[in-house]
Amino acid sequence: MSFNFASDNVAGASRPVLDALVAANGGPMPAYGTDPITLRVVSMLAELFERDIEALLVATGTAANALALAACLDPWGLCLCHEEAHVIDDECGAPEFFAHGAKLLGLPGTGGKLSPETLGQAIDRLPRHEKQMPAQVVSLSQATEAGLVYTPDEIAALAAVAHARGLVVHMDGARFANALVQLGCSPAALTWRAGVDILSFGATKNGCFAAEAVIAFKPDLVRSLRFRRKRSGHTLSKGRLLAAQFDGYLRDDHWLDNARHANAAAARLSAGLAGVAGIRLAWPTQANEVFAILSSGMDAALKAAGTIYHPWSPRSLADGERLGPGEALVRLVCSFAPEPSDVDGVIAAARSAGR
Ligand SMILES: Cc1ncc(COP(=O)(O)O)c(C=O)c1O
């Protein structure tokens, strides 16, 4: 028996997404994103976000982030983000590469979150001289790399600090759906109404096979995006097959169902593990990821029982929380696919090791 909680991406694509792909496959259609499915998906996204938007579809989250940030940054510009953000830690420098040399600056914060104070002070401390790179963008991960969600009020407070200093607000929404269903608010409330200017709208982790959208809420950010996408090799010639994934994903709120399923699995796993001796949670479980601090014996027992997960960085633990000798901080991610029995299998393995 094996329980794979290594990543959201251990799951394949969901059935409605595959069905939509098959339905879109027949017959000729215009290429390069000028097909009726792409146009329909952009309208669906505009309806979802309750306003005119510009949406560009791409196949990976790294491409979405790198293109979005490049559209907002001069080559000499600085993007502030959390020190453990995917954009700074896990994209092999793609944002800097796509933005022709712009730089990312990581800031500390508990649970992967930036605070308005940290952000404001960091920007205000930067020297304002042509020898130094000026801050132009702040990037927020929703949910964060520690599985926490920013509320609309928290985003608005950060956006107020950023906008007052002339910065653009980018949101890396690789797990946007998981944050949205946790908060129970609208996509508009979680983005442009709170001050987000440009969003990487993730869909791959939550049911698509390779589909993400860059959604710009400010028309002037869009000017360069199409050229940047093509120039970087991210304009798919058979664009309808990219759009079809979104068609299946968004239709009948399938994406929200998937996110609710993933979050419920994580809540079940979190509650079960937290009740076992030798395990404590590193951060509360607010989306589809569980971060647990395990004794070395528990870590070995879970692995021996076939549970697959990754170690995680303790850098953004709360003040006063730290790993004891031999303890490990690990991340277990629930995709949209696990059955309650998969979750219960891990909890049972932990309980029997904890006895
Ligand atoms: C916070 C975050 N942003 C973006 C991504 C997108 O990455 P990829 O390029 O693998 O689709 C990920 C994937 O792990 C992520 O966790």
Q: Are residues 279 and 321 in the same domain?
A: yes
Q: Domain count of the chain? A: 2
- Report the CATH number at residue 326: 3.90.1150.10
- Report the CATH number at residue 133: 3.40.640.10
Which of 202, 236, 252 is the last residue before a domain boundary?
A: 252
Say if ligand 1 is within 6 A of residue 86 CB. yes
Please give the torsion angle defined by the CA atoms of residues 330, 335, 339 and 342, in that order, rounded to the nearest 10 degrees.
-20
For residue 181, the 8-state DSSP code is H
Cα gap 196→187, rounded to integer Å: 11
Say if ligand 1 is within 6 A of residue 204 CB. yes
pLDDT, residue 355, reads: 67
Which of 211, 231, 252 is the last residue before a domain boundary?
A: 252
Counting from 1 in the atom list of ligand 1, the atom nearest the Cα of 143 is 1
CA-closest candidate to residue 145, choices 112, 190, 179, 177? 112
pLDDT, residue 251, reads: 97
Buried b (16+ CB within 10 A) or exposed e, 40-72: ebbebbeebbeeebbbbbbbbbbbbbbbbbbbb
Enter the pTM of the model: 0.97
* Burial class for 128, CB neighbours closer than 10 Å (0-12, 13-18, 19+): exposed
End-to-end Cα separation, the chain, in angstroms: 21
With cut-offs at 50, 70 and 90, classify the pLDDT of residue 219.
confident
Evaluate if residue 112 carries a pLDDT over 70: yes
Average pLDDT value for residue range 171-194:
98
Q: Are residues 202 and 341 in the same domain?
A: no
Cα gap 272→252, rounded to integer Å: 32
Average pLDDT value for residue range 87-91:
97
CA-closest candidate to residue 141, choices 100, 109, 101, 186? 109
Which of 218, 252, 286 is the last residue before a domain boundary?
A: 252
Q: Are residues 240 and 193 in the same domain?
A: yes
Q: Are residues 237 and 262 in the same domain?
A: no
Counting from 1 in the atom list of ligand 1, the atom nearest the Cα of 144 is 1
Q: Are residues 64 and 141 in the same domain?
A: yes
For residues 179 and 127, the model is more confident at 179
Which residue among 87, 90, 114 has the greatest number of ligand 1 atoms within 8 angstroms of its CB, and so is best to mutate? 90
Cα gap 290→345, rounded to integer Å: 15
- Whether omega before 143 lies within 30 degrees of 0, making that bond cis, reads yes
Say if ligand 1 is within 6 A of residue 248 CB. no
Q: Per-residue pLDDT tens for 91-104?
A: 999 999 999 999 99
Ramachandran area for residue 101 (φ above 0: left; ψ -120 to 50: alpha; else beta) = left
Q: 203 lies in which domain range?
A: 13-252
Q: Per-residue pLDDT tens for 238-252?
A: 999 999 999 999 999
Query: What sign has the CA pseudo-torsion 205, 179, 176, 186?
Result: positive
H or E stretch at 88: helix 86-89
pLDDT, residue 1, reads: 67
Q: Are residues 131 and 33 in the same domain?
A: yes
pLDDT, residue 144, reads: 98
Q: Are residues 164 and 131 in the same domain?
A: yes
pLDDT, residue 353, reads: 86
The CB-side HSE value for 22 (13 A sphere, CA atoms) comes to 7
Q: Are residues 89 and 173 in the same domain?
A: yes
Average pLDDT value for residue range 169-190:
98
Q: Per-residue pLDDT tens for 256-314?
A: 999 999 999 999 999 999 999 989 999 999 999 999 999 999 999 999 999 999 999 99
